[in-house]
């Protein structure tokens, strides 16, 4: 494919700086910016400051915005990591694009099943393994390198850029919405386009553009059975154990084929039309390869491409994520936990609203709890023109063990971001 006019020097610069760009990603991956680990909150802040220094080196004017505190399950409070807002260029004759990304990552431990240390970027067979390499540190750094390529080749950055980088995306983007609303007519004023590179190709070879995402409703179910943890050898069989109640409730949400068991939840989902079914026929997607990448023996919809894609895209899904308060370390511990919290989420689709999904879910849980007849305490709490331009491939394993980004995607993706900025100026 011919290189667009005016971009050949930029692409050559990216290629010639591949090793240094990989080293930059290595620096970022080494920072354990896990937003779900309260004891690592300082690392998340360090990561935001790291990004600020690099944006300022490009000439951007940057501010780290305080977005308040987070209340932990035990009632204590810790500061939320700041949101980084930076502006590069303020030429009224140019278009302005707002670039969003996040620098926090999912939890990762070697003992979880990683083949390499998750916070040490490791190159193997043309792939870069490390937590955050694909989600979302690699793409965020790609934006920085794209801007650098314009500057170092003597070319003017063709658009004004407003950067919004956060450190809580993997934990619900706490504090971001209020900040964006407050900055709507200030920092964000004059924005013509928004671009997000926190998504993935459908396959491994063919780039794609994401034009829609399912929404999410996140739920916590808390069950409390007693005032303190108990020894099962002494108290087992005499108390209504909260863990058993919680597992009972979570087992009423979804069956072993992925069918959501909450009455009324599917009523607002738009029915599939024949025209829609035809759209799936020519999509480049290999179900067997998808299944192999997952390391799974059999998918819910077997080798049915259309139903598998619909399950990923156009139908709601319910996933159970974990139990907090339960013993989860290695070895044996005969404790009856005094309080446990189950976590699950529902991915919602067009025609569904968070309000309607929340209502039917809470109604269902309350009904099942009444049926359970437990004396324990149960409460539930609901957590809460854009271009999505992917850099990573379908098998990057963003929230899994051995997360990686292909060097090809990292370098060619950086070129793509530069080309996107170039094309915006031509629109």
Sheet (strand 127-129) strand order: 122-124, 127-129, 404-406
Which residues are tagged catalytic?
104, 169
299-317 pLDDT, tens digit per residue, is: 988 889 999 988 888 899 9
pLDDT-based confidence at 234, cuts 50/70/90? Answer: confident
| Angle (CA) 180 183 185, round 5° | 125
Q: Which residues does residue 344 pair with via DSSP β-bridges, in sequence order? A: 219, 320
Share of the chain above pLDDT 70, in %: 94
Q: Does domain 8-210+389-426 have CATH number 3.40.50.1110?
A: no
Label residues 253-282 b or e (16+ Cβ within 10 Å = b).
bbeeeeebebeebeebeeeeeeeeeeebee
Q: What CATH class has 215-269+315-383?
A: alpha beta
268-287 pLDDT, tens digit per residue, is: 898 889 998 888 888 888 88
- The dihedral over CA atoms of 236, 341, 399, 64, expressed in degrees to the nearest 10, equals -140
Task: State the pLDDT at residue 381.
Answer: 46
pLDDT-based confidence at 156, cuts 50/70/90? Answer: very high
Q: Parse the chain into domains and list their residue ranges.
A: 8-210+389-426, 215-269+315-383
Beta-carbon contacts of 106 under 8 Å, excluding residues fewer than 6 positions away, are 34, 36, 131, 135, 170, 398, 399
CA distances (Å), origin 12, targets 30, 128, 371: 28, 21, 67
Neighbours of 106 (CB within 10 A): 17
Task: State the pLDDT at residue 333.
Answer: 84
3-33 pLDDT, tens digit per residue, is: 766 799 999 999 999 999 999 999 999 999 9
Task: State the pLDDT at residue 149.
Answer: 97
């Amino acid at each position: 494919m011919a290189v667009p006019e005016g971009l050949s020097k930029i692409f050559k610069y990216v290629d010639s700086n591949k090793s240094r760009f990989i080293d930059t990603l290595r620096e970022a991956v080494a920072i354990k910016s896990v937003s779900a680990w309260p004891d690592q909150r300082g690392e998340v802040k360090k990561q935001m400051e790291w990004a600020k220094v690099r944006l300022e080196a490009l000439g951007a004017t940057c501010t780290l915005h305080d977005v308040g505190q987070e209340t932990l399950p035990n009632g204590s409070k810790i500061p939320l990591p700041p949101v980084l807002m930076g502006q590069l260029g303020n030429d009224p004759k140019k278009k302005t694009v707002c670039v969003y990304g996040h620098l926090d990552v999912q939890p990762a431990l070697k003992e979880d099943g990683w083949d390499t240390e998750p916070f040490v970027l490791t190159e193997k067979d043309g792939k870069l393994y490390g937590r955050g390499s694909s989600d979302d540190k690699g793409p965020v750094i790609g934006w920085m390198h794209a801007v650098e390529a314009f500057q170092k080749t003597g070319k003017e950055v063709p658009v004004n850029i407003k950067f919004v980088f956060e450190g809580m995306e993997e934990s619900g983007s706490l504090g971001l919405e209020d900040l964006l609303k407050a900055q709507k007519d200030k920092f964000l004023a004059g924005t013509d386009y928004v671009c997000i590179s926190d998504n993935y190709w459908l396959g491994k070879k063919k780039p794609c553009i994401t034009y829609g995402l399912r929404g999410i409703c996140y739920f916590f179910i808390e069950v409390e059975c007693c005032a303190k943890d108990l020894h099962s050898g002494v108290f087992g069989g005499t108390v209504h154990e909260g863990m058993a109640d919680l597992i009972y409730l979570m087992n009423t949400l979804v069956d072993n084929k992925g069918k959501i068991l909450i009455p009324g939840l599917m009523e607002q989902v738009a029915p599939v039309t024949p025209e829609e079914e035809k759209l799936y026929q020519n999509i480049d997607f290999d179900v067997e390869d998808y299944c192999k990448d997952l390391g799974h023996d059999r998918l819910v919809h077997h080798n049915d491409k259309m139903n598998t894609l619909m399950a990923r895209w156009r139908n709601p899904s319910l996933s159970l994520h974990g139990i907090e308060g339960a013993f989860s370390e290695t070895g044996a511990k005969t404790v009856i936990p005094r309080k446990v919290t189950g976590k699950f989420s529902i991915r919602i689709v067009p025609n569904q609203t968070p309000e309607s999904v929340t209502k039917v879910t809470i109604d269902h849980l309350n009904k099942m709890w009444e049926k359970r007849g437990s004396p324990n305490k149960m409460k539930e709490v609901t957590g809460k023109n854009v271009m999505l331009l992917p850099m990573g491939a379908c098998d990057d394993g963003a929230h899994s063990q051995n997360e990686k980004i292909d060097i090809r995607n990292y370098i060619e993706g950086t070129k793509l971001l530069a080309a996107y900025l170039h094309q915006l100026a031509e629109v």
